[in-house]
Amino acid sequence: MPFTKAELDGSFLFEPMVFRDERGFFFESYNEQVFIANSVTSRFVQDNQSFSKRGVVRGLHYQLEPFSQSKLVRVLQGTIFDVIIDIRKGSPGFGKWVGFELSSENKKQLFVPKGFAHGFSVLSETAEVMYKCDQFYHKESESGIRFDDPMLNIDWNISKGKEIVSAKDLQLPSFAESKNNFNFSIV
């Protein structure tokens, strides 16, 4: 089974079947029928792609309701440490984070459900990351949490003080002070 439930409810790792031979490899990075058969019904409407160098930390980002986004994250080149935080009030995982190494080599993809903050650090010399979103970008709804919030204590696998973070991300609030209109519900 290519889907592995992650520690935080609603998130999972997708590991596609890769066909390799002397020419290289081939795999389906997304097949709607396979995802629906595994209870993932997000309809993706936008693809985003970034290129970053070693030490870059992007995030932690999310969009508030009603413009929240589910994401399917994969690495086209390089290696990242991908982090999600459950920000759904009332969730058993509220305020907890998990991280996964995603790379162009392992082909693993992370499904980030609505109600989760997302970010990543670049572990290789460079990395190119692509993610599908099931909601369009909505500037007025963007929000986030500061990457180095001491309450979360995320280990980005980058030496402390060597992180490269945008001025915008350095202005993000702590987890306790962040805007959040997500509530957990059992489906």
Active site members: 61, 131
Residue linked to tokens 């915008």: 168
Phi, psi of 90 (to 5 degrees): 90, -5
Pick from 85, 75, 79, 84: which is nearest to 55 by CA? 79
d(CA 78, CA 104): 6
Contact 48, 131 (CB under 8 A): yes
Pick from 134, 8, 123: which is nearest to 75 by CA? 123
Q: Which residue stretches of the chain are H helix?
A: 32-37, 167-170
Residue linked to tokens 């399917």: 72
In one-letter notation, the amino acid at residue 82 is D
